[in-house]
Chains A and B, each alone.
Chain A
Amino acid sequence: MDHVKLVNNPIDIAHIHQLLADEGCGASSVFVGTTRDNFQGKKVVSLAYEAYDNMALKEMKKICSDLRSKWPELKHIVIYHRLGTVPVCEASVVIAASSPHRSEALESVSFAIDQLKTRVPIWKKEIYEGDHDSEWKENKESIRPKKSLSAFNYAACPCKVEESHDVPRTLVQIRVNDAELAKRLECFVNRKRAEINSQNVIDFKSSFADSENDLSDSCARTQSTIIKQEQSNCHLKVRRVNNRCGPQQMELRPNYELELNKLMGSRDGQNDPSKEMRKSLPNSRLQAIESYMGLSTDNEENIFTRIKKVENRMLQLESISPEYRHFTNLEPQSMEPPPPKKIRKKSYSAHELSVFIQKMKDGREMNE
């Protein structure tokens, strides 16, 4: 049940508990707002509350229905607010709720007090000790007029005019209402915008275009055509870098080391018949290459090891400075690594496999 009331006498908390009591409820949460005795160093004697009674009750009931839609398990809701003079340290507001479990009761009470401070038309005035003027308070949560730019109150802006009434030449005094002033400002902005636009048109348009015809309907314009670029899905320019050599291509190169080791595996031995060959004519040519590459020559070394060293040297130079290849007269295509081959796995049907196995069996039988 909802209990909503504006009261002129002290609120009896025990009575609130009676209102909340319910056999099915394991939780009741009670918030009590009490009056403070000080504000900014001033001693508060008492507080005077006033309300727009009918509307306050209406808004309090609205809070109750909001609570019930948010927390349907709530059993009883109490919102009591005191009016008139309230001495310090007495309850000015009590919000309470009971529910089967504590979370609904606690959360709903917290939500309700925030809503009350925001929407319920009740005001309090603090009456201070001594000569301080009493003061109407303002909740920071209070509903306030929405401020939009169009509703800006120019008239409320302070305008300082010197006492001599001698307004400087740089200032212009306008005596119009807000609507007129807003209209004039808008016109001014539009005018400036149009000016900039026309300026842009003049800046970018080439002289041979007929400048008189369509000056008004756009801003910046250039005389240009959009050309679709190669390898591009749109009209934008695309640059594609295709490295023919350099570190990016390393992985596409044949694995020299592996290949060479394979070749050397069988031939490298003490009984190598080609040993004498290695010291003959090709050897001197290799020496020339080695000296050109800045490598030391060792005639006793295996020829393949030496070729490998030369190749490693070339690879190293290539990776340090790819442009050296421009000095060789090789056709670029011939140097390009072949595109990686797509290996298609052949799939066999069960029938094919059984035929294959049968063939093998037959073959074995025949051999036996």
Chain B
Amino acid sequence: MSTDGPVVNVHVLFFAKARELANSSRSNVDVPTEIVASDLLDQLVSRFGLTTIRDNLILAHNESYIDNLSDSILFKEGDELAIIPPLSGG
């Protein structure tokens, strides 16, 4: 992943449609220690071929939703990042 500052390695999880498009349920990615959620999402989308569902994706950092895509996320080594397509539980 293209970055300038310090990077950490995090686990990225894919679910449902995102898992099928990425052809994988799990991957390890180097991310900057601080990054705006929408920028991170854009990079992940282009890297894992998720462009078709980009506008409906939401991120969860360490099992908590990132409600606002303009927020910054602070990462530590080994953090968990989930790519969450629209839910359909129930």
Q: How close is A2's CB to chain B, nearest CB, in angstroms?
A: 18
From 58 to 77 in chain A, residues with beta carbon under 8 angstroms from any chain B beta carbon are: 58
Interface residues on A, range: 35 or more
Give B83's nearest chain A residue, CB to CB. Answer: A52
Residue B4 CB within 8 A of the other chain = no
- Could you tell me the distance between the alpha carbons of A124 and B63 in the complex, rounded to whole angstroms? 20
A144 and B86 within 8 A (CB): yes
B89 and A54 within 8 A (CB): no
B16 and A50 within 8 A (CB): yes
Q: Which chain A positions have C-beta within 8 A of B84?
A: 52, 121, 143
From 254 to 290 in chain A, residues with beta carbon under 8 angstroms from any chain B beta carbon are: none
Q: Which chain B positions have C-beta within 8 A of A301?
A: none
Q: How close is B69's CB to chain A, nearest CB, in angstroms?
A: 6
Tell whether A139 pairs with B89 under 8 Å between CB atoms, given A52-B15, A55-B63. yes
Tell whether A121 pairs with B90 under 8 Å between CB atoms, given A52-B60, A55-B63. no
A145 and B57 within 8 A (CB): yes
Residue A118 CB within 8 A of the other chain = yes
B90 and A92 within 8 A (CB): yes
Question: How many residues of B are counted as interface, with CB atoms below 8 angstroms from the partner's CB atoms?
Answer: 25
Residue A128 CB within 8 A of the other chain = no
Partner pick for A136 among B63, B88, B90, CB 8 A cutoff = B88
A139 and B70 within 8 A (CB): no
From 28 to 83 in chain B, residues with beta carbon under 8 angstroms from any chain A beta carbon are: 38, 54-58, 60, 63, 65, 67-70, 82
A139 and B86 within 8 A (CB): yes
- Could you tell me the distance between the alpha carbons of A37 and B90 in the complex, rounded to whole angstroms? 15
- Could you tell me the distance between the alpha carbons of A9 and B55 in the complex, rounded to whole angstroms? 34
- Could you tell me the distance between the alpha carbons of A142 and B56 in the complex, rounded to whole angstroms? 10
Partner pick for A122 among B67, B69, B89, CB 8 A cutoff = B89
Interface hub of A50, A118, A144, A156 (most chain B Cβ within 10 A): A144
A interface residues with partner B (beta carbon < 8 Å): 33, 49-52, 54-56, 58, 81, 92-93, 113, 116-125, 136-139, 142-148, 150-151, 153, 156
A to B CB contacts below 8 Å, 20 in the list: A50-B16, A52-B13, A55-B63, A55-B82, A81-B90, A93-B90, A117-B89, A119-B87, A120-B87, A121-B60, A122-B90, A124-B88, A125-B16, A136-B85, A137-B88, A139-B89, A143-B58, A145-B55, A146-B67, A151-B69
